[in-house]
Chain A
Amino acid sequence: MSKELLQKVLERFPEAVEESHSLHGDETVRIKPERWLAVFSFLRDHLEFDHWIDLTAVDYLGREQGLPRYEVVVHLRRMKDGGRIRVKARLSEGGPAIDSLTSLYKGAAWMERECHEMYGIVFKGNADLRPLLLYPEFKGYPLRKDYPIDKRQPRIPLLGSEERRFPKPADETAHGHDPAFSREKKQ
C-alpha cells in the first residue's frame, strides 16, 4: 500500500515533491510550500485521507547554510485502512507563511492558531489567528529556538523576582544549548 501511495502523489505532482521516503509504513513527502493546498486537496479528495491528526512546526535554528529555517509538519490518516502520511514543507526565515488548510479540514483551525502563536508562522486564509494558549499581551514566539530560555512575561507585578533558580553557565549560547555539557567535551 505504502509505496503505491507515494507513487500516486509523485505522479500527480512531479514538480512539487522535493523528497519522499517510506519506512515501516511511515510515508513522508516534503513538498514545495506553494503547492501546499493543492497537494492536500488531492490527498483528501482522491486518496481519501479524511482524518486530520496533527499540525506542528520545527525550528532548525543554525541549520546548514542555504536551508530554510522552519518546517511545517502535518500528519493525516484515512479511516478505511488506517493508512497514514506525513507531509512537510520548508519555510524560510523572515515572515514564514503558508496557506491555511481550514478550507479542507476544519480541525486545522486551532492547530494553526497554536502553531502561529508558538512559532510565528502565518497561515494565509485562517481568519482567526488569535492566541490560543498564551495570553494576548505575550510578545514573541516561545517555541522558537532563539526565544530566551529564561525570559518571563508576567501579566501582573509579582511579589518576588522570577530569576532562574540555577545559575546560567557563562558560555551558554543564545538558544539555550550549553556546550559545557556536550559529549565531545566530556571525553
Chain B
Amino acid sequence: MGIEQRLQGFDFIATRAEFFINWARKWSLFQYPFVTACCGMEFMSTMCSHFDLARFGAEFPRFTPRQADFLVVVGTISHKQAPIIRRVYEQMCAPKWVIAFGVCACTGGFYDNYATVQGVDKVIPVDVYIPGCPPRPEMVFDGFMMLQDKIQKEKLDEHCAEKKYRLLP
C-alpha cells in the first residue's frame, strides 16, 4: 500500500505548487507546546496513544521555538508572562501558526483579574481558538483539522509579507 501502488504506473503527477506546498505543510507540523496550566494534562492525553495527535503528522514537539511551525498556548497567560510568550513567538520562523488551547488562552477564562491577560490574542496573533475547561481531545482534533484546512487554503505570499507577523512596538 505504498504510494507506488496509488500511482499505478504513472511516473509523474501534475499539481499546483501552492496546493502541494500547503499540503506538505499541513501534514508535517512541528509544534511548540507552551504549557502553563492544568490544560497541559488534557494536552498530554491528546498527544498520547489513546487519541494520538501523531495521526495528523504533528507528533513531534520541538523544545525550541526556532524549530517549530506552530505554537500551542496551553493554559492561562499572566501579565508577567506576556513578554516571554511574545518573545517565543518572535523567535519562530515563518510560516508559523498559533493555537489557543483552552478557555484561559482564548479569553482569560474566569480569571478576570489584575494578573491575567484576557486572551493570548492580546499578545500574539491567534489562528485557531479551542475553548473548553479543559477541551476534550476530540475538540482539540477538530481545532487542529481547522488549522489544517486554513493552511491548505493559504496563498503562498501570505507568509512572505511582514503584514501577518508585524506586532505592535
Contact = CB atoms under 8 A, between A and B. Distances in A.
Contacts of B168: 157-159
Contacts of A154: 79, 82, 117
A157 to B, nearest CB: 5
Interface residues of B, number: 20
Given A159-B121, A159-B123, A165-B107, A135 B114 contact: no
B149 interface: no
B121 to A, nearest CB: 7
Given A156-B86, A159-B125, A147 B114 contact: yes
Interface of B: 79-80, 82-83, 86, 107, 112-115, 117-118, 121-125, 167-169
A96 interface: no
The majority secondary structure among interface residues of chain B is loop
The majority secondary structure among interface residues of chain A is loop
Interface of A: 133-135, 142, 147, 149-160, 162, 164-166
A153 B117 CA distance: 10
B47 to A, nearest CB: 29
B121 A142 contact: no
Nearest to A160: B122
A162 B78 CA distance: 13
